[in-house]
Amino acid sequence: MENSRWTELQIHVPTGVIGVDVIVGLLAGLLVGYNFGVAGNRNLVSWFRVLAVIVDLDQPRQGLIQVDQRPLIDLQRRLQENH
């Protein structure tokens, strides 16, 4: 169980997938920006936020969104005490 948790923390979204996300995000941003320009509105920051959240969630020990491992460690300790 510990090995699988450690592996999950070490495996990240492949760089190619993030690259495709960036390209699709840029294209979507260009289309949305064009539409906002035609309509007279501008809000191109939104897609940056989406990409930032994807990258931040990929790094559970770094960034703004951090996953605390303490509840799982406490559960493991309680399970070992019951044996």
pLDDT, position 25: 79
Percentage of the residues of the chain whose pLDDT score is greater than 70: 83
**Confidence check: pLDDT of 78 > 80:** yes
Range of weakest confidence among 22-26, 40-44, 56-60, 76-80:
40-44
| Phi, psi angles (nearest 5°) of residue 78 | -65, -40
Distance, CA of 9 to CA of 7 (rounded, Å): 5
Taking only the tens place, the pLDDT of each residue in 31-58 is: 877 877 787 766 667 667 777 877 777 7
What is residue 74's three-state secondary structure? helix
**Confidence check: pLDDT of 8 > 70:** no
